[in-house]
Amino acid sequence: MTIASALRARLFVEGEILEVERVTPRMRRITIAGEGLAGLRWTPGQHVRLLVDDPFATKTWTKGALRTYSVWRHDPSWEALDLIGYDHGGDAPGATWLRNAHPGRQVAFTRPEGRFVVRQGAPYHLFAGEETASVAFGAMLRDLPAGAAVFGVVEAATPDDHLDLSRELVRVCRNGAPAASSETLVEAVRELDLPDEPGVAYLAGEARTIQALRAHLVGERGWQRRDVRTKPFWTPGKRGLD
């Protein structure tokens, strides 16, 4: 075993794509399975960092070859997990990998990580983000008790671009406006009729929009920053988030 292959085995999980399904016009569900997934631990909301080039090429062992994907579902009983990726278009590494994903392709990814998970026992839960956020939201919403109070907004390019979720959140569309620094999403959250006391917020998606949403909650609604959990998945022009 070479040094590179030994390092790969220690740092990454390897599997094979079993199925690719288009779930919205721009989103694809990728089912990955294999013996390497045995014993994998995952908390809903956590993500993996996937190698978006040839997993056996030396050149891919760089930060620039990794892209973040939320886990939609994990089934430990048959050593498989589902990722859902959003195709922003263009030739960015993540979008190119998503378009080229096909059954039989070998993949390598880090073990699930991250603290973007639900805080059990919160007075209520507030979710806000666009298409890329809805993947994590779907898993987190399924993890909540049936009686948990939930509010939120999900933005998408068009009505067809919304991912089906287990709880009803407000749906808004950009109608041609850019997703970066989205005024549409911020205004929709501003219009939510929330309880007087803060709950716990989960903000995910484009980085600059997340900043604006957090500024609204902290500056306009008086929330504490510790009650606002954030996960930036992408932003234009920043390597690793393209």
pLDDT, tens digit (0-9, with 9 covering 90-100), for 71-110: 999 999 889 999 999 988 778 788 899 999 999 999 999 9
pLDDT confidence of 3, banded at 50, 70, 90? very low
Checking if the pLDDT of 24 tops 90, the result is yes
CATH 3.40.50.80 fits 125-234, yes or no: yes
Checking if the pLDDT of 20 tops 80, the result is yes
Using one digit for the tens of pLDDT, what is the confidence trace for 109-124?
Answer: 999 999 999 999 999 9
Q: 16: burial class by Cβ within 10 Å (0-12, 13-18, 19+)?
A: middle
| Residue written as token pair 């970066």 | 180
Q: Where are the domains of the chain?
A: 3-109, 125-234
What are the tokens at 120?
């059990």
CATH 2.40.30.10 fits 3-109, yes or no: yes
| Residue written as token pair 């990722």 | 83
> Which pTM value belongs to this model?
0.90
Q: Whole-angstrom Cα distance, residue 59 to residue 54?
A: 9
What are the tokens at 73?
């579902």
